[in-house]
Amino acid sequence: MNGLRRAYVFIMFLAMSGYASAHEWIPTYPKLEMSHIPRVFTTQMRLFNTRSDVAYYKIQVFDAEWEKVPFALSTATVATHTVHVPFQSRKKIDIYIRSVESSRAVYVCSKSRPLKVAVTKTMLYSRICSKIK
């Protein structure tokens, strides 16, 4: 009887959880390389939007303790580090980190940013991080 109850709870949990999809953020282990700008390193990430309810993604760089590391993007809203990627679209994102900050940078992350009109209490945010080699 106890095994049947567990199976029932598991099936109910599965049925109520709904479909969750994230976005694609590659490569998984990017490398920092010298850019054409002196004392600045760069890496290129690719973001593929598989979510029809999201068109904007916030890019972030963190150190090993998950503290923010300053960086710049080639194509983004400068103040918020937000990029627009329409549904079923792919975008290349160039990330620039000063050489003095490059040794601190460990993670490059992308986080979904739903529009305020679409946000509900059950809205699923997705954040995917890649670890710098």
For residue 48, the enclosing domain spans: 21-131
- CATH number of residue 62's parent domain: 2.60.40.10
5 within domain boundaries: no
Share of the chain above pLDDT 70, in %: 74
Report, as an integer, the average pLDDT of 13-22: 48
Give the mean pLDDT of 33-52.
94
Confidence band of 116 (pLDDT split at 50, 70, 90): low
Q: Residue 11: inside a domain, yes or no?
A: no
b (16+ CB within 10 A) / e for 83-115: bebeeeeeeebebbbeeeebeebbebbbbbbbe
Diameter over CA atoms, the chain = 69
Top pLDDT among 128 and 118 is at 128
What is the domain count for the chain?
1
**Minimal CA–CA distance to 114: which of 103, 127, 96, 131?**
127
pLDDT digits (tens, 9 = 90+) for 72-98: 998 766 678 999 999 999 999 999 999
Report if residue 14 sits inside a domain.
Answer: no
Tell the burial category of 42 from Cβ atoms under 10 Å away from its Cβ (0-12, 13-18, 19+).
buried
Q: Which two tokens stand for residue 58?
A: 């916030």
pLDDT band of 123, cuts 50, 70, 90: low
pLDDT at 18: 42
pTM for this predicted structure = 0.76
